Amino acid sequence: MVVLKLIIKNSFRHTLRTALTVVGLAIAVLAFGLMRTIVDAWYAGVEMSSANRMITRHSVSFIFSLPLSYKDQIAKIPGVTGVSYANWFGGLYGDPNQWENFFPRMAIDPETYFDMYPEFIVPPDQLETFRRERNACVIGKKLADEHRFRIGDAISMEGDIYPGSWTFVVRGIYTGRDKSIDETQMLFHWAYLDESIRAVQPGRAGNIGWYVLEVDDPNRMAGVAEQVDALFMNSRAGTKTETEKEFQQSFVSMSSAIITSLEVISFVIIGIILLVLANTIVMSARERMREYAVLKTIGFSSARIVSLIGGESLLIAAIGTAFGIAGTFPICQMFAEAFPTFFPIFNVAPLTLILCVLIAFGSAALAALFPAVRASRMKIVDGLRAIG
Amino acid sequence: MITVSHVTKSYFRDKIEIPVLSDINLVVPPGEFLALMGPSGSGKSTLLNLIAGIDKPDSGDITVNNTTLQTLNETELAQWRSRSVGFIFQFYNLLPVLTAAENVELPLLLTKLRKKERVKHVDAALKLVGLGDRMDHYPKQLSGGQEQRVAIARAIVTDPTVLVADEPTGDLDKTSAEEILTLLEQLNKEFKKTIVMVTHDPRAAEKAHVVRNLDKGELD
């Protein structure tokens, strides 16, 4: 208890210095936690990918469409147990300069899409109504809460990729199976899009953006991809079939420069944590060399002196980390509320918290290393002459 | 019994060798109160540090109660110090963040004694030095004389056979110095502690049984 008291008392001997160190650490841990959460949010789509879903898109680029007629041919390939399709709609809702007005809007096949995505839970009666009405849409709960959309509300928007004025009626609100599921999407009938576009741009009709394939065995995915792509190799629209995870990963890789920057900043923050703590511990240890020499004189071993210095470093790191982690949650919550549709999934992952703790304690150990080695190697007679 | 045989010691300052002790021979029988005197830089404190096992000689042997200090490694030496020697410094060297009782308890943390037993020992040591009512006081709440009493209590709490004191009255007023010297005398007479004391003060030396003078690294 006396040694513990000595560690605690020493840690707070210079209250202002310790307080500033704790604040510095807390801010650094908070910044690290926020950065990691942003990077995680970028990868959220990849993480929520299903192990048995595949995506077939145009071989040149995702922005080129594929004929709807491929659907039946794909469904016949051995191993494929279900096929659905979707089309990116885009559109402008409200003031396009407001982040909250940007949310994913997609035309889907109402009969098959929700069977392929069981993680989107729509009440059966709402799903039934949605399937019956051509201009109906289903929206995510987070989107509904953000814009206060209710069942029966009409959502009007201007088309950009598909010109014209569009109105959709909310007939269903889906919730995610767990909190890692994106609840900001708006999904409506592909047939409604196709009919409307056929009237003004007949050449664009009958096309979809991508197919979603359900495969009975994840081990067969490579074979299925080969067969699908071989089937349309000489067609006017070649295909590229890949796992849903690879498909999502390709979107993330478009932002790789930003993600890399964030990761670099995370490492810089780790360096800051180390320097802030090391500065305090080195100063404190230097001031107490005489005391360490006295302790050695009365029989304290070098290992005990190291534990005193290491304990002080760990205690300060623990307090700073605790404050930092406590602050990470409200900051991330504020961040998520500020960009609800840009980062639809913005949760502080347990791994982020574990990393915060490990990095802080690792930094504490490193920060204590130099002064601890110095104190343990110090000759007692030199230490007794030291002026603290 | 403390035996110092043919001990030499030098220090290096900017690569220049400065001899401090040359061929020192000294025998301190058990229960003796020895005062080491001499001018500044004569090597008194160096000899004291060698006897206390906090420094090592360049050559020669030092034996304290049948233990030859040169044969011990750093860890063994630390253990030996905690059991066998009590050290009293000129400037007390109490830890300011601990109370008097906690300062005295420090050497006992290195023993296998339980908390209850440690408290008993601390209580006895502080009462012996007349500070039974100052246990929970921090060093800054004590006078210089009281601080030195706490330091003496810390030195004797493990019941070592040898006490080494480096200018124990050097930072005290006349009255406090007299009290400290009386206390050391009592420890020597009543508790048979062997005391080796470095001092400049002739009045302090008067309390000792034997006074040895050290000058330019040589003992008279």
Domain residue ranges of chain A, discontinuous segments joined by +:
2-44+256-385, 65-236
Distance from the Cα of B127 to chain A's closest Cα (Å) equals 20
Among A133, A120, A122, which Cα is nearest to A212's?
Answer: A120
Q: What is the pLDDT of residues B107-157, one digit of tens each?
A: 999 999 999 999 999 999 999 999 999 999 999 999 999 999 999 999 999
Return the percentage of chain B with pLDDT > 70, whole number.
Answer: 100
Instruction: Spell out which residues of chain B touch residue A3, defining contact as CB-CB under 8 Å.
Output: 109
Among B41, B22, B37, B146, which Cα is nearest to B92's?
Answer: B146
Question: Looking at chain A, which residue has its C-alpha nearest residue B98?
Answer: A6
Model ipTM over 0.85: yes
Instruction: Spell out which residues of chain A touch residue B109, defining contact as CB-CB under 8 Å.
Output: 2-3
Residues 5-34 of A with CB under 8 A from B: 5-6, 9-10, 13
Pairing of the two strands B33-37 and B194-198 = parallel
Q: What is the pLDDT of residues B61-83, one digit of tens each?
A: 999 999 999 999 989 999 999 99
What lies within 8 Å, CB to CB, of B186 at 6+ separation is none
pLDDT over threshold 50, residue A388? no
Q: What is the pLDDT of residues B155-174, one digit of tens each?
A: 999 999 999 999 999 888 99
Question: Looking at chain A, which residue has its C-alpha nearest residue B73?
Answer: A301
Task: Determine whether the interchain pair B75/A295 forms a contact, defined as Cβ–Cβ distance below 8 Å.
Answer: no
Q: Which run of H or of E encompasses A101?
A: none
Considering chain A, what is the average pLDDT of its residues?
Answer: 91
pLDDT over threshold 60, residue B204? yes
Distance from the Cα of A317 to chain B's closest Cα (Å) equals 21
Task: Determine whether the interchain pair A298/B89 forms a contact, defined as Cβ–Cβ distance below 8 Å.
Answer: no
Interface test with A, best of B45, B85, B95 (most A CBs within 10 A): B95
Distance from the Cα of A265 to chain B's closest Cα (Å) equals 39
pLDDT at position A386? 65
Contact A280, A273 (CB under 8 A): no
What single letter denotes the amino acid at residue A174? Y
Interface test with A, best of B10, B49, B50, B54 (most A CBs within 10 A): B54
Strand partners, A207: A67
Task: Determine whether the interchain pair A9/B107 forms a contact, defined as Cβ–Cβ distance below 8 Å.
Answer: no
Token pair 């246990």: residue: B135
Contact A345, A177 (CB under 8 A): no
Closest CB from A5, A9, A300 relative to B110: A300
Q: What is the pLDDT of residues A253-296, one digit of tens each?
A: 777 888 889 889 988 988 888 888 999 999 999 999 999 999 99
User: The tokens of A295 are what?
Assistant: 């302790």
Q: What is the pLDDT of residues A76-90, one digit of tens each?
A: 999 999 999 999 999
Task: Determine whether the interchain pair B54/A381 forms a contact, defined as Cβ–Cβ distance below 8 Å.
Answer: yes
Instruction: Spell out which residues of chain B touch residue A291, defining contact as CB-CB under 8 Å.
Output: 93, 95
Among B56, B63, B67, which Cα is nearest to B27's?
Answer: B63
Contact A325, A33 (CB under 8 A): yes
Q: What is the pLDDT of residues A107-143, one digit of tens each?
A: 999 999 999 999 999 999 999 999 999 999 999 999 9
Q: What is the pLDDT of residues A171-226, one digit of tens each?
A: 999 999 988 888 999 999 999 999 999 988 888 899 999 999 999 999 999 999 99
Contact B166, B90 (CB under 8 A): yes
pLDDT over threshold 70, residue A335? yes
pLDDT at position A338? 81
Q: Which run of H or of E encompasses B171?
A: none
pLDDT over threshold 80, residue A6? yes
pLDDT over threshold 80, residue A32? yes
Instruction: Spell out which residues of chain B touch residue A384, defining contact as CB-CB under 8 Å.
Output: 54, 89, 93
Q: A202: how many CB neighbours lie within 10 A of its CB?
A: 9
What lies within 8 Å, CB to CB, of A362 at 6+ separation is none
Instruction: Spell out which residues of chain A touch residue B74, defining contact as CB-CB under 8 Å.
Output: 301-302
Question: Looking at chain A, which residue has its C-alpha nearest residue B163?
Answer: A298
What lies within 8 Å, CB to CB, of A289 at 6+ separation is A375, A378, A383, A386, A388
Pairing of the two strands A66-67 and A207-208 = antiparallel
Task: Determine whether the interchain pair B78/A300 forms a contact, defined as Cβ–Cβ distance below 8 Å.
Answer: yes
Interface test with A, best of B47, B97, B105 (most A CBs within 10 A): B97
Instruction: Spell out which residues of chain B touch residue A299, defining contact as CB-CB under 8 Å.
Output: 78-79, 81-83, 107, 110
CATH 3.40.50.300 fits B2-219, yes or no: yes
Angle at the Cα of B102 from the Cα atoms of B96 and B108, rounded to 5 degrees: 125
